[in-house]
Structure 1
Amino acid sequence: MSEWSHIIIRSFIFLFVLFVMTKLLGKKQISQISFFEYVSGITIGSIAGEVIMGLDNNIGHGVLAIAIFGLVTIAVGFISLKSNSFRDFVEGKGTIFIKDGKIMEDNLKKEKYSTDELSTLLRKKDVFNLADVEFAVLEPTGNLSILLKKENRPLTPKDLNMKVANDKVPQTVIRDGHIVHDSLASAGKTRKWLFDELDKLEVTMDNVFYGQIDSYGDLTVDLYDDKMQQPSPQTRPLLMAQLKKCQADLELFELETDSPDAKKMYKKNANKLNEVIKILSPYLNN
């Protein structure tokens, strides 16, 4: 067997071994790598590279070495879940870079960061003025977490004492032009409802590439034909418009009638409907 054949076979073998080991280590190895996992990952990759290129003619030695490093990494992760002190030692702790709006120079030097590098990390968080930051900490993963000063934080509905509707997880009911029946059932909808909604949007199933039901039960679609204007759901706006029209009609009836009892009745119901509109506004306004 030629040397090229050996390399190809070894590559496929260790591709499978590394894939299995990564699955055992879990998603954390990819998303939030610690100091120990960083060292372990580099070593495992180096071992695999050497064995694939034939520097170590014994494939079993390479598999054994990778298995040892993988199992040790799994063991370290398990112990870290049980012991806070061990986790702090292995994974490290966050380092405060800005506290009460003031840069902690000693901590910057400890982590070997310059003020320019700190500014770069802040810009990655869309913060260009250091004076806007109340608190910033360098996480063990190398990411910078920041807390803006209260006057610089975006307004939320809670700040304005506004009531908003709770969102639910959207359900993708059409993917690549095919109906996803599990998602349709999770949303509590049927195929008949789906086709009825497509008729309301004046589109056919053949032209729908992607469809999603939002937390209000409205269907939003993306079409294969990009030149066509994307239809938007009209159920909630139409319902809100009808409620407002009914409320306006009651106020008009109150003005037109000469009967005191009728005026009282129209005014009372107009006020009740107005309260209903206020309650439903967060749910029905797009």
Structure 2
Amino acid sequence: MMFLSIAIKLAVGMIGVIIVTRLLGKKEMAQVTPLDFVYALILGGIIEEGIYSSSTNVGHILTALAIWTILIYIIETTTQKFDNWRHLIKGSPTLIIENGKINMKAMKKHKLETEQVRELLRMQGIFSIGQVNYAILENSGQLTVLERAGEEPVSRQEFKEEFPENSLTYLLVEEGDINNPALKQAGKDRNWLLNELKKRNYPLSDIQFAEWNPNQGFYVQLQS
């Protein structure tokens, strides 16, 4: 009898998952927002409580699922109709990089670090902030990137010139502090870095971040 009850509860829970999934529409995983994650988290809690609690019957699960489904439907419907409500509940895209410079106010607002932005860029095959003209942080947490015109991909077969092999870009300075692990990976030392910055008249304490690439050299943004 207990196994039958669990099977029925699981079936009811599966139906609830299907209904909620249909309400959220056809989204890819990359488009799922934090609010969608909360939907799924609470739905999972309802089903878990229903399965493992002997005091919870199928009627309780159905009632909880019905209420939760109605709430989701109301939220999703109203956010589609009212822009202000949508921005309040789901947030809005934020310009993180503008004209090649990181928007530090937006970074602090969204609790982002420079290396996290670099990681999101690397996931799109971009290994330097210097290649980016604009980058928008979407509600899903992904970056939408518009590269600089000179960084747009072209076929090397269109040229007869020899090209140097691509190399990694290293974040050597972040918020005025030297990134020693990155410096070591680049095969350089602290004295070399300080001398190179001095040649370019960049005081270490004034640097927001400094990238270095063996082929392209330094890309530096000063603190505003």
TM-score by length of 2: 0.63
Contact 1:22 1:29 in 2 (8 A): no
Partners of 1:56 and 1:127 lie apart in 2 by 54
Q: Which protein has the larger Cα radius of gyration, Structure 1 or Structure 2?
A: 1
CA distance in 2, matches of 1:136, 1:146: 4
Is 2:42 the partner of 1:43?
yes
Q: Secondary structure at the match of 2:39?
A: helix
Q: Structure 1 residues 110-119 or 28-37, which shifts more?
A: 28-37
Using the TM superposition, give the Cα deviation of residue 55 of structure 1 relative to its aligned residue in structure 2, in angstroms.
4.9
Instruction: Note the 1:201-280 alignment, pairs <5 A.
Output: none
DSSP 3-state at the match of 2:84: helix
Indicate if the aligned counterparts of 1:35 and 1:92 stay in contact, CA closer than 8 A.
no
Counterpart-to-counterpart distance in 1, 2:135 and 2:52: 45
CA contact (8 A) 1:98 1:137 kept: yes
The answer for unaligned runs of 5 or more in structure 2 is 156-224
Identity %: 29
Q: Alpha carbon RMSD of aligned pairs, Å?
A: 2.1
Q: Distance in 2 between matches of 1:85 and 1:75?
A: 15
Change (3 A) 1:117 1:69: same
CA shift in 2, pair 1:40/1:56, >3 Å: farther
Does the CA contact (< 8 Å) of 2:30 and 2:142 recur in 1? Answer: no
Q: Which runs of 4+ in 1 moved over 3 A?
A: 28-31
1:48–1:23: structure 2 CA closer, same or farther, 3 Å change rule?
same
TM-score (norm 1): 0.50
Query: Match of 2:103?
Result: 104
Number of residues paired by the alignment?
A: 155
What's the offset of the Cα at 1:114? 1.0
Residues 105, 19 of structure 1: CA spacing in aligned structure 2 closer, same or farther, 3 A cutoff? Answer: same
1:135 aligns with: 134
Residues of 1 paired with 2:5 and 2:28: CA distance?
30
Letter in 2 for 1:26: G
Letter in 1 for 2:83: N
Q: Which amino acid aligns with 1:61?
A: H
Q: In terms of mean alpha carbon deviation, does 54-63 or 144-153 score higher?
A: 54-63
Relative contact order, higher structure (CA 8 A, sep 6+): 2
